[in-house]
Amino acid sequence: MTEIARAADFLRAGELVAFPTETVYGLGADARNPHAIARIFAAKGRPADHPLIVHLPDASHLERWAIDIPAAAGRLAAALWPGPLTLILKRHPDVPDAVTGGQDTVGLRVPDHPLALQLLREFGGGVAAPSANRFGRVSPTTAAHVREELGDAVAMIVDGGPCAVGIESTILDLSGTEVRILRPGMLDAKAIATVLGYVPEFGGAQNAPRVSGSLEAHYAPGTELQLVAAADLAATAQRGLADGRRIAVLAAPPFASEPPGIVWFPASADPVRFAHDLYANLRELDALGRDLILVAAPPDEEAWRAVSDRLRRAAAGSK
């Protein structure tokens, strides 16, 4: 039996299977099985009212999970799936409450990873999968990250190597009167605009569905993390040292005046590369066990929006 066939069997048996996607690793369960879904929430320590994304083998499955699907959703799916885009649509009545957190909408996406697609096709249905990390912590981008954090909770981890994108999918809400971006991702806003004919607004409308990724504190390492303007970095690091704190810095070169006693992680000046490395860097920085992680704030540019969003939340969530 192939590894993927075994993984699909575990899903059918109501077990948890962690699998790679192009964004981050997912903690998967049969989206039609409330008992399997309950295992996801238990493993993550996630509040039960936070909805999950259902991963589909292809867009032809949309009608089994959503109703009143607007034409724009079909166009987005045709143009951008498989890809790092989640569509929020009105839920089909057969979708278990456990998946939607009791809301009248459901999040759907077709991931762009060969092993994820093989697994979804072999399983033949929807797989509910949040990022395979404990609630509020940094998302995993390698199988080893999943093993460290949730190894005991899963029947199997499908290893697909490091994730190509590195941060979570863009979430687009198409369940209301206007399309909105609930969570920025690395999907080019231009790609969305090309399909829709306009760039949607960011942020949820009033009474918008709950998004745990929109909590102020999220994606956080255990070490205190501060975002600092690049120009203030060296001085801030010096002050920390003077206060007797052990400091680690994540910044693009040149971090010219690298003072002695400070660990410097060179970060990429390219947003795509920075995103790819971000969560692995945060895990490594955290593992150093320093007192403070200083991160150079990225430029205030569209290409950095998703990275800046995750860094802000990591700072808010760190102790």
Give the footprint of ligand TXA on this chain (CB under 6 A).
21, 23-24, 26, 50-53, 86, 88, 100, 103, 105-107, 111, 129-131, 168-169, 171, 182, 209-213
Q: Backbone phi, then psi, for 120, in 5-degree steps?
A: -65, -40
Output the smallest distance, CB 120 to ligand TXA, in A: 11
Distance separating alpha carbons of residues 117 and 26, to the nearest angstrom: 13
Residue 131 makes contact with Mg ion by CB under 5 A? yes
C-alpha to C-alpha distances, 124 to 58, 109, 157, 319, nearest whole angstrom: 10, 15, 19, 42
- In the complex, minimum distance from the CB of residue 21 to Mg ion, in angstroms, rounded to a whole number: 12
86 binds Mg ion, rule: CB under 5 A:
no
> What is the C-alpha to C-alpha distance for residues 210 and 152, in angstroms, rounded to an integer?
29
Q: Which is nearer to ligand TXA, 168 or 309 (CB)?
A: 168
Rounded distance between C-alpha atoms, residue 227 and residue 249, angstroms: 10
Which residue shows structure tokens 């390219």?
A: 270
24 binds, among Mg ion, ligand TXA, none (CB under 5 to 8 A by kind): ligand TXA
Position of minimal CB gap to Mg ion: 131
Of 42 and 288, the one with the shorter C-beta distance to ligand TXA is: 42
Indicate the residue among 118 and 131 with the shorter CB distance to Mg ion: 131
The interface partner of residue 134, options being Mg ion, ligand TXA, none and the CB cut-off 5 to 8 Å by kind, is none
Shortest distance in whole angstroms from residue 79 CB to Mg ion: 25
Which residue do the tokens 């006693």 mark?
261
Q: How many residues bind Mg ion (CB under 5 A)?
A: 1
Residue 84 CA, distance from chain mean position: 10
In the complex, what is the shortest distance from the CB of residue 189 to ligand TXA, in angstroms, rounded to a whole number? 17
Nearer to ligand TXA, 138 or 182 (CB): 182
Is residue 172 within 8 Å of 192, Cβ to Cβ? yes
23 is an interface residue for Mg ion by CB under 5 A: no
Give which of 248, 253, 256 is closest to 269, Cα–Cα: 253
**Choosing among Mg ion, ligand TXA, none, which partner's interface includes residue 209 (Cβ < 5 to 8 Å by kind)?**
ligand TXA
Q: Residue 79 or residue 211: which is nearer to ligand TXA going by CB?
A: 211
Nearer to ligand TXA, 130 or 298 (CB): 130
Structure tokens at 150: 């949730």
* Least gap, CB of 219 to ligand TXA (angstroms): 9
Which of Mg ion, ligand TXA, none interacts with 52 (beta carbon under 5 to 8 A by kind)?
Answer: ligand TXA
The binder of 187, among Mg ion, ligand TXA, none, by C-beta within 5 to 8 A per type, is none
Residue 65, burial from CB neighbour count under 10 angstroms (0-12, 13-18, 19+)? buried
Residue 56 carries which DSSP code?
-
For residue 182, give the 3-state DSSP assignment: strand
- Burial call 145-159: b when 16+ CB within 10 Å, e when fewer: bbbebbeebbbbbbb
Minimum CB distance to Mg ion smaller for 50 or for 64: 50
Q: What is the residue type of 66?
A: A
* Binding partner selected for residue 53 from ligand TXA, Mg ion, none, CB under the kind-specific 5 to 8 Å limit: ligand TXA
CB 126 within 8 A of CB 31: yes
**Residues making contact with Mg ion (CB under 5 A):** 131
